[in-house]
Amino acid sequence: MKAVQVTRFGDPSVLTLVDLPDPEPGPGQVAIDVTHAAVGLIDLHARQGLYKDREGLPQPPYVPGLEVAGTVRALGEGVSGFTVGEKVVALPGNGTGGYASVFISQQDRVISTEAYGIDPALAVAAVPNAIMAHIALTGAIHLAAGESVLVHGALGAFAATFPGIARQLGASRIVGTVRTARTGAAAATKLPYDAVVDSDDLPGALGQEKFDVIVDPVGGTLRTQSLDLLAPSGRLLLVGNASGDWEHTIPSNAMWYGNTVVAGFNAGGYIPAHPETIPPAARAALEAVAAGLIEPDIEILPFADAATAHEKLENHSVNGRVVLVP
Ligand SMILES: NC(=O)c1ccc[n+]([C@@H]2O[C@H](COP(=O)([O-])OP(=O)(O)OC[C@H]3O[C@@H](n4cnc5c(N)ncnc54)[C@H](OP(=O)(O)O)[C@@H]3O)[C@@H](O)[C@H]2O)c1
């Protein structure tokens, strides 16, 4: 199969196009002929060596990529419920293998898109992250109908799935924040935000508005500012650290005074402990994407340009998602 490998930790030039033996599905696994593989910030973090020597996380040489769309190629022993040729997406599993023309997934991570007529580039760009957004908003933070939601880094790959899922769950108002360079793209977005404001102008850009739930994949200064943007008994949901501020700490006394909750959600730990959350979240995500509630900008590049894809994310020159094709 055709694949892109991280040959050693380093800059995007370590991404190398290679030919590898076709993998076979083991018991309980599904082999997928990949048509589209999503590129995520976590792929960059792993390639840069942020997870060097961390047990269970990818060490070179490895094939990066967590999410793929394609068709079922073969079923491993004991797998039922899928037919060869069926259109599917795969949720992140062990954190590797996506940038390849054949992907092996555990069967409970494979979601059929066949009945929904979703374009595969959109499917891989939106469905896995939307599934995680649904699980985060329901399981981790218990979003209730009528509540207001603020989403930081509003056009980012993961963030972009939250307004559609929040809308579906009955949120009353959904506002996004983006940096100044992204305000033009935000004005043109099809994502269902009621408003998008410049995060560099916080808190003034929001007037006196406060939110029941704040979704924060960015971290750093924005995370600290968020504590003052929460309504009484509001919940701050930490889902990432796109700012790269790994030393950030939360002022716990501000939480005490503000009656606020700070909760973390990491799909890599949460979903294995709560596998029962996948089927309802998958239904919700597929319905939201099919209804046009989650339409991020998508840029498609060939596997051979994987280094360019990583550079674009590193340079912050992507308005939505980058998707690779074999
Ligand atoms: N919890 C989970 O299960 C889960 C699932 C998926 C992803 N994640 C995490 O979520 C984070 C985002 O991942 P992604 O794939 O969505 O990345 P992405 O597409 O690159 O999106 C990152 C977003 O954050 C914004 N951003 C970066 N630095 C910022 C700063 N200093 N101030 C304000 N905004 C900033 C970016 O804005 P610009 O466009 O202006 O740069 C962009 O909109 C990562 O930490 C990833 O590991 C977590």
Q: What is the pLDDT of residue 273?
A: 94
Closest residue CA from atom 7 of ligand 1: 158
Counting the structural domains of the chain, the total is: 2
Q: What is the pLDDT of residue 57?
A: 87
**CATH number of the domain to which 231 belongs:** 3.40.50.720
Residues 49 and 122 in one domain: yes
Q: Is residue 135 in a domain?
A: no
CA–CA dist 108, 8 (Å, integer): 31
CA–CA dist 273, 83 (Å, integer): 28
Amino acid at 154: A
Domain of residue 91, residue span: 2-126+296-325
Specify the 3-state DSSP secondary structure of 171. Answer: coil
SS3 content of the chain, % helix, strand, coil (to 5): 35, 25, 40
Q: What is the pLDDT of residue 161?
A: 98
Q: Is residue 273 in a domain?
A: no
Q: How many residues does the chain have?
A: 326
pTM of the predicted model as reported, rounded to 2 decimal places: 0.95
Residues 188 and 85 in one domain: no
Q: Mean pLDDT, to the nearest integer, of 208-216?
A: 97
Q: What percent of the chain has pLDDT over 70?
A: 100
**CATH number of the domain to which 122 belongs:** 3.90.180.10
Reported for 224-228, long-range contacts at CB under 8 A and 24+ positions apart, including other chains, are 224/248, 224/250, 224/251, 226/150, 226/152, 227/251, 227/254, 227/255, 227/258, 227/260, 228/203, 228/254, 228/258
Residues 309 and 199 in one domain: no
Q: Is residue 88 in a domain?
A: yes
Q: Is residue 290 in a domain?
A: no
Q: Ligand 1 centre from 158 Cα, in Å?
A: 7
* Ligand 1 binding residues, C-beta < 6 A: 40-42, 129, 132, 153, 155-159, 179, 181-182, 199, 217-218, 220, 222, 239-243, 265-267, 313, 316
Query: Distances from the Cα of 268 to the Cαs of 177, 234, 239, in angstroms?
Result: 25, 25, 11
- Which tens digits make up the pLDDT trace of 77-101? 999 999 999 999 999 887 899 999 9
Is the confidence at residue 37, as pLDDT, over 80? Answer: yes
Q: Is residue 71 in a domain?
A: yes
Q: Is residue 94 in a domain?
A: yes
Structure-derived torsion over alpha carbons of residues 151, 179, 302, 8, reported in degrees to the nearest 10: -90
Q: pLDDT band at 24, cuts 50/70/90? A: very high
Q: Mean pLDDT, to the nearest integer, of 220-224?
A: 96
Reported for 308-313, long-range contacts at CB under 8 A and 24+ positions apart, including other chains, are 308/12, 309/39, 310/12, 310/15, 310/39, 310/43, 310/44, 310/47, 311/12, 313/39, 313/41, 313/44
Residue 249 Cα to chain centre, angstroms = 23
Closest atom of ligand 1 to CA, residue 132: 3
Q: Is residue 259 in a domain?
A: yes
Residues 18 and 121 in one domain: yes
Q: Mean pLDDT, to the nearest integer, of 187-206?
A: 95
H helix count then E strand count, the chain: 9, 15
Q: What is the pLDDT of residue 169?
A: 98
Closest atom of ligand 1 to CA, residue 316: 41
Residues 13 and 80 in one domain: yes
Task: Indicate the top mutation candidate among 44, 158, 312 to test ligand 1's pocket, ranked by most ligand atoms within 8 A of CB.
Answer: 158
Q: What is the pLDDT of residue 94?
A: 77
Tell me how far apart the terminal alpha carbons of the chain are, to the nearest angstrom. 10
Q: What is the pLDDT of residue 314?
A: 94
Query: Which residues, 6 or more positions from 38, have their beta carbon under 8 angstroms from its beta carbon?
Result: 65, 66, 67, 68, 98, 124, 125, 128, 157, 321, 322, 323, 324
Last residue of a domain, one of 240, 264, 288: 264
- Cα Rg for the chain, rounded, in angstroms? 19
Residues 182 and 226 in one domain: yes
Last residue of a domain, one of 264, 280, 311: 264
Residues 208 and 119 in one domain: no
Q: What is the pLDDT of residue 322?
A: 97
Task: Indicate the top mutation candidate among 39, 42, 294 to test ligand 1's pocket, ranked by most ligand atoms within 8 A of CB.
Answer: 42
Residues 97 and 209 in one domain: no
Is the confidence at residue 271, as pLDDT, over 80? Answer: yes
Residues 91 and 151 in one domain: no
Q: What is the pLDDT of residue 144?
A: 98
Q: Is residue 86 in a domain?
A: yes
Residues 7 and 77 in one domain: yes
Q: Ligand 1 centre from 313 Cα, in Å?
A: 10
Range in 90-99, 226-235, 281-290, 305-314 with the lowest mean pLDDT: 90-99
Q: What is the pLDDT of residue 112?
A: 97
Last residue of a domain, one of 214, 242, 264: 264
- Which tens digits make up the pLDDT trace of 65-81? 999 999 999 999 999 99
Residues 54 and 167 in one domain: no
Whole-number average pLDDT of the chain: 96
> 178: which strand partners?
198
Residues 244 and 161 in one domain: yes
Q: Ligand 1 centre from 153 Cα, in Å?
A: 6
Do 194 and 175 meet the contact criterion of CB atoms below 8 Å apart? Answer: yes
C-alpha count within 13 angstroms, C-beta hemisphere, residue 257:
6
Q: Ligand 1 centre from 27 Cα, in Å?
A: 35
